[in-house]
């Protein structure tokens, strides 16, 4: 276990040894854990994904070009991933294209496409931070062994996903690895 900042311990004979053994053994697993932030950028009309000939599409964020997938527990000895509340998105460039009059996004997974971030505007002119939705069904701390985040895009006005010619959205999902006990 590497400690990258000063840790001040009490005098010899105090409970320092028990505390350090508890942290190393996993009985106190979250004490020195660092929080992480998964980031994925989706560029519309840039070949990051294959658009569907439909007015809505669920995009698997684990398959976006140039961005790594959400961390997984591949082996039983790997840390379990705890997804934390506070998912948010940033619309850098609003979605626009032929026949599109409005665009909304949701963030979740295949089971619950809006479980982390419910319907939020992402049309041209709606640029900026899209804050987390505390009332979203899954937006709470929970352990995950196989989580595949998705971005759902819904268009109105008759335009199809294939008609999008601009749009850039960043999705952020906070998480922390939880060490598996010895």
d(CA 117, CA 15): 44
| CATH fold group of domain 35-178 | Jelly Rolls (2.60.120)
Q: What pTM, to 2 d.p., does this model score? A: 0.76
The boundaries of every CATH 2.60.120 domain in the chain are 35-178
Spatial distance between the Cα atoms of 168 and 149, rounded to a whole number of angstroms: 17
List pLDDT tens digits, range 11-49.
665 555 666 666 566 555 544 455 788 999 999 988 889
Q: What gap in Å lies between CA 13 and CA 178, rounded to an integer?
A: 30
The confidence score (pLDDT) of residue 36 equals: 85
* pLDDT surpassing 60 at residue 65: yes
More confident: 39 or 65? 39
For the chain, percent of residues with pLDDT exceeding 90 = 36
Question: Percentage helix, strand, coil, to 5, in the chain?
Answer: 10, 40, 55
CA distance 144 to 47: 29
Instruction: Give the pLDDT band (50/70/90) at residue 118.
Output: confident
């Amino acid at each position: 276990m590497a400690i990258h900042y000063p840790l001040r311990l009490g005098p010899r004979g105090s409970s320092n040894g028990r505390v350090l053994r508890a942290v190393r053994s996993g009985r106190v697993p979250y004490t020195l854990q660092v929080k992480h932030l998964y980031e994925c950028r989706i560029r519309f009309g840039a070949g990051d994904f294959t658009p569907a000939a439909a007015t809505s599409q669920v995009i698997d964020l684990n398959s976006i070009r140039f961005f790594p997938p959400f961390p997984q527990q591949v082996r039983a000895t790997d840390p379990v991933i705890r997804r934390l509340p506070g998912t948010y998105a940033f619309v850098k460039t609003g979605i626009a294209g032929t026949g599109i009059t409005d665009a909304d996004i949701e963030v979740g997974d295949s089971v619950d496409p809006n479980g982390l971030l419910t319907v939020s505007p992402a049309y041209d002119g709606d640029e900026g931070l899209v804050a987390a939705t505390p009332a979203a069904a899954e937006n709470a701390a929970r352990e995950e062994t196989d989580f595949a985040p998705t971005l759902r895009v819904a268009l109105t006005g008759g335009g199809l996903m294939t008609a999008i010619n601009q749009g850039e959205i960043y999705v952020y999902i906070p998480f922390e690895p939880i060490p598996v006990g010895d």
